Copies of this chain bind each other. A is one copy, B any other.
Amino acid sequence: MTRVSTDRRDVPAIHEHIDAHWPDHLDATRAFLRQPSISADGTGMAATAEMVAERMRRLGARAEVVPTGGHPVVSGALDGDGSHTLLLYGMYDVQPVAGEAWDVDPFAAELRDVAPFGPCIVARGVSNTKGPLAGTFNALESILATRGRLPISVKFLIEGEEELGSRHLPSFIEAHRYRLGADAAFFPFYRQDVTGKPIIHLGCKGVIFFELVARGGEHGGPTAGAVHGSRAVWFHNPAWDLVHALDSLVSEDQTRVLVEGFYDGAAGPTDEDEELLAALQPTFDAQAQLAEFGLRRFKYDLDGVPLLRKYLYEPTCNIDGITGGHASAGNKSMIPHAVSAKFDCRLVPGMRPDRVISSVREHLRSRGFGHLDLIVHDAYPAARTRVRAPIVQAMIETYRLFGCEPEIWPTIASSMPLYLFTEVLGLGTISGGLGHGGRAHAANEYATVEGMRMFEKSLVTLLFALGRHLSAPAGGEVRS
């Protein structure tokens, strides 16, 4: 048997190595940020994938740029001490910058003061998430430089389509699942909020992206193009079909989805979740939520835990947009031949996307809207990792070792295909790391330089802590 490293005595030396080599580490991260990698239009994607693979190889890892139907996945593996493995998920693509008002070149990775944080790198992707990815490689280099081997094995799964909705990640994971065996999955990210408090999210909602299209056809309405509105007295208008169909989906007060079977299997909070919600209550400020998003009121006359419970455990159906016919300036009377809406449903644990899709189809059919075209653009279930998972316990321990008490959310209201890790691969999965960044998907995206350094140190601490937690006997205490 190989030696299982539970030895934290190596960690201070590795942290010192990071401090001693910080100018080089920061330079390496900035060099990576200067390489554009815009998945939306393909800018720099192939070169960036190669750069990621090269950084893996410099660590001594086996690395491969694996083609997909879109941008490639960079896959790699590096053996460490013991028999446990961490799957490091990451992304090398970034959002486009076109149309954004940057104060600096978004691909110059300039050092700027950002109030009130002080020195920052301002660049596209510095926070979301090429900064953390580069920092991860830096941290692993310091571990190897200091002690020769990682405390646990790691596998890398770095995709180039996160900003496109991880289009080919499901098929990649399906195709390679028997080589992605691991004990936990981790997405490196600067997870401290503006106050310095680290946040842990244990899961996320699932989502279904629907498009509903009403067109003329056998049931009536124009089939080839718009018809003059004076004919509306004779001819069906697909826009009314769309409006009536959408109307039937959600109650007028917008608090209830009216599709039979929609809520089937939806699980409310567990006892563990209720404990976590109670712990969130003291710092949860509902009015600040309204102010942040420029709203005057919630749907519900609730506050505190009941409001949080709605947020995290209530499935939703939301119209993202609607379009068709003449809606610009001027009067133009017409019966449009096609009108469509996009809407998304957020799913909580226990809801199966295929069953929800069937329920919506059956609802439309039984209500007389079966002639509308319901398209599913994407669908995946919720994901959830339990607090007791070693990756969660190791992350909590790491934050505490750095003097930070993390805030733990049982789940979040937004959606990512985390189920690929939690359900398909069956791994405890979180994202984490010290550090603070902001303005993701917007101009002047930033991350603090000091946070970037602390991120690297926290990642080192995490790997050692995870090694110890994974080696602890089931149900046993971890000696720290």
Report if A320 contacts B (CB, 8 A): yes
**For this complex, into which size category does the number of interface residues on chain A fall?**
35 or more
Asked if B295 and A222 make an inter-chain contact with CB atoms under 8 angstroms apart, the answer reads: yes
Bound CA–CA A250/B233 (angstroms): 12
The reply to whether B230 and A296 contact each other, CB–CB distance below 8 Å, is no
Chain B residues lying within 8 Å of A414, measured Cβ to Cβ, are: 228, 230, 333
User: How far is A331 from B225 in the complex, measured between Cα atoms in Å?
Assistant: 26
The secondary structure that dominates the A interface is: mixed
Say whether A21 faces chain B, with CB atoms less than 8 Å apart.
Answer: no
Asked whether A310 is an interface residue with its Cβ less than 8 Å from the other chain, the reply is yes
Contact of A415 among B230, B239, B413 (CB under 8 A): B230
Q: Tell me which residues from 271 to 322 in chain A have a Cβ below 8 Å from any Cβ of chain B.
A: 289, 293-300, 307, 310-311, 314, 316, 318-322
Cβ of B320 and Cβ of A322 under 8 Å apart?
Answer: no
Contact of A247 among B216, B237, B243 (CB under 8 A): B243
Note all chain B residues with C-beta closer than 8 A to A293.
222, 227, 231, 235
A205 → chain B closest CB, angstroms? 7
Q: Kindly list chain B residues whose C-beta atoms are within 8 Å of the C-beta of A218.
A: 296-297
Q: When each residue 242-254 of chain A gets 1 if its CB lies under 8 Å from chain B and 0 otherwise, what string results?
A: 1110110010101
Check if A325 sits within 8 Å of B333, measured CB to CB. no
**Are A295 and B227 in contact, with the CB atoms below 8 A?**
yes
Interface assignment of A68: CB less than 8 Å from any CB of chain B: no
Are A319 and B243 in contact, CB atoms less than 8 angstroms apart?
yes
Bound-state CA distance A237–B254 (Å) is: 8
A437 → chain B, closest Cβ, in Å?
18
- CB-contacts of A329-345 with B (<8 A): 330-336, 339-342, 344
Which one of A235, A295, A297 has the highest number of Cβ atoms from chain B below 10 Å of its Cβ? A295
Q: Which residues of B contact A224 (CB under 8 A)?
A: 294
How far is B439's CA from A334's CA once the two chains are assembled, in angstroms? 17
Are A307 and B229 neighbours in the complex by a CB distance under 8 Å?
Answer: no
Of B219, B237, B300, B332, which one neighbours A234 at CB under 8 angstroms?
B300
Q: Mark A19-36, 1 if CB is under 8 A from B, else 0.
A: 000000000000000000
Contact A412 B243 (CB under 8 A): no
Q: Are B240 and A243 in contact (CB under 8 A)?
A: no
- Kindly identify which residue among B165, B234, B316 contacts A311, using a CB–CB cutoff of 8 Å: B234
Determine the chain B residues whose CB is within 8 A of the CB of A231 once the complex forms: 293, 413
Q: Give the shortest distance, in Å, between A145 (CB) and chain B (any CB).
A: 41
Cβ of B346 and Cβ of A334 under 8 Å apart? no
- Name the contact of A320 in the complex, choosing from B323, B326, B340 (C-beta under 8 A): B326
A316–B240 alpha-carbon span in the complex (Å): 12
Provide the bound-state CA to CA distance between A232 and B250, in Å. Answer: 12
- Per the 8 Å Cβ criterion, residues 31-83 of A in contact with B are none
Are A244 and B239 touching (Cβ within 8 A)? no
Say whether B316 contacts A323, CB under 8 Å: no
With A321-B336, A322-B239, A414-B228 known as contacts, the answer to whether A234 contacts B298 (CB < 8 A) is: yes
Which of B247, B324, B344 is within 8 Å of A244, CB to CB? B247
Which residues of B are found within 8 Å of A296, using beta-carbon distances?
216-220, 223
Which B residues are in CB contact (< 8 Å) with A314? Answer: 233
**A327 at the B interface (CB under 8 A):** yes
* 29 CB < 8 A contacts A-B: A220-B297, A220-B298, A224-B294, A227-B295, A229-B318, A230-B413, A232-B318, A232-B346, A233-B314, A234-B310, A236-B299, A237-B254, A237-B318, A237-B319, A239-B321, A239-B322, A239-B341, A240-B250, A240-B319, A243-B247, A246-B247, A252-B368, A319-B336, A320-B332, A321-B325, A321-B339, A322-B327, A331-B377, A333-B344
Known: A233-B311, A233-B346, A318-B335. 18 other contacts (CB 8 A): A209-B331, A219-B297, A227-B294, A229-B320, A229-B346, A233-B314, A235-B295, A236-B254, A237-B318, A239-B319, A239-B321, A240-B246, A240-B319, A320-B325, A320-B326, A320-B332, A321-B334, A333-B415
Top 9 A-B pairs, shortest CB-CB distance: A321-B325, A247-B247, A232-B318, A321-B327, A323-B327, A230-B414, A239-B319, A321-B326, A224-B294
